[in-house]
Amino acid sequence: MSEQDPRAASEEEQGGFRVSEGRAAFEIGAVLLALGALVLGALALANHFADRLVARVPEAADRTLGDRSAELLALGSTPCPNPAALAYVERVAAPLLAALPDRRFEFRFRVVRAPDVNAFALPGGNVVVNSALLEAAESGDEVAAVLAHEIHHVTRRHGTARMLRELGASALLTLAFGGTEVAVPAKLAHDFASNAYDRAQEAEADRLGLELLARAGLDPRGMVHFFERLAKSSVSPPELLSTHPDPGGRAAAAELAAASAKPRITLPSPREARCE
């Protein structure tokens, strides 16, 4: 019986290891590819049905959902103690609501103490404005631009559609992966991919908000200036990782839409509307 060359055995083991490593990489890649396809398919399917299902959901559901959400948020937020802040927001919103063709929802505004330069709309007409936004805004036109954007999240029922989409996608992913370890990366992939749908809603709210500003006789350049400063602040995440479009791109789109606008209303400055 001949004795095997140790070097040959070593090379054979290394070769076998290389084959196994390549096969493992291939299998992992195939699993990730299949996982991505399933997640994107579930998301696309959920989005497809959400857009159609929202029209069948009574508008009273938006108001109920928004009111309950507002109650829960109120428990964790501090109202602005200066009544002038809310009065200012309602004054800026008045010409927008007067020019709004869609009168299905009754709008209610709140100003809360919060350090983020932000505002958000809940289904049914609740709009919350952070005190930091009033402090950061340099003109009433900038505040009006944000409010016009949020108003159209309500009229387009984006919050309700998003809720239906998330429920549908979660149900499909749970059905596919259950409580397995694969469910975790599947959920992460779903959240990452769903940003594209959120950005589409944000872009629509921008476009309709600009139209509303012009219809109300306000200066759409407020949206231009607001997004230009946001783009220069370097505090927003990359567009791909954000639910909002890139601020620079939003400013350019707003500039184009505002080119032919002829504002006839001058809004007061937000300087006197701070919480302090």
DSSP for 86-134, written as a single string: HHHHHHHHHHHHHH-S--SS--EEEEEE-SSS-EEE-TTSEEEEEHHHH
165 found inside a domain: yes
Residue 10 lies in a domain: no
Catalytic site includes residue 150: yes
Please give the Cα distance from 238 to 245 (Å, whole number). 9
For residue 270, the model assigns a pLDDT of 94
Catalytic residue among 141, 142, 150, 219, which?
A: 150
- Using pLDDT thresholds of 50, 70 and 90, give the confidence band for residue 118: confident
How far, in Å, CA of 154 to CA of 204, rounded?
12
Catalytic residue among 206, 219, 228, 246: 206
Beta-strand pair 108-113/126-130: parallel
Q: Domain containing 85: what range?
A: 19-273
- Structural domain includes residue 6: no
Residue 11 domain-assigned (yes or no)? no
Is position 9 within any domain? no
Known catalytic residue at 272? no
Give domain status of residue 5, yes or no.
no
pLDDT higher than 80, residue 16: no
Residue 8 domain flag: no
CB neighbourhood size of 143 (10 A): 28
d(CA 267, CA 264) in angstroms, rounded, equals: 10
Is 7 part of a structural domain of the chain? Answer: no
- Mean predicted lDDT score pLDDT of the chain: 75
- In angstroms, the Cα distances linking 117 to 23, 82, 134, 171, 230 are 50, 18, 8, 34, 9
Least trusted range by pLDDT, from 44-48, 152-156, 250-254: 44-48
Domain count, the chain: 1
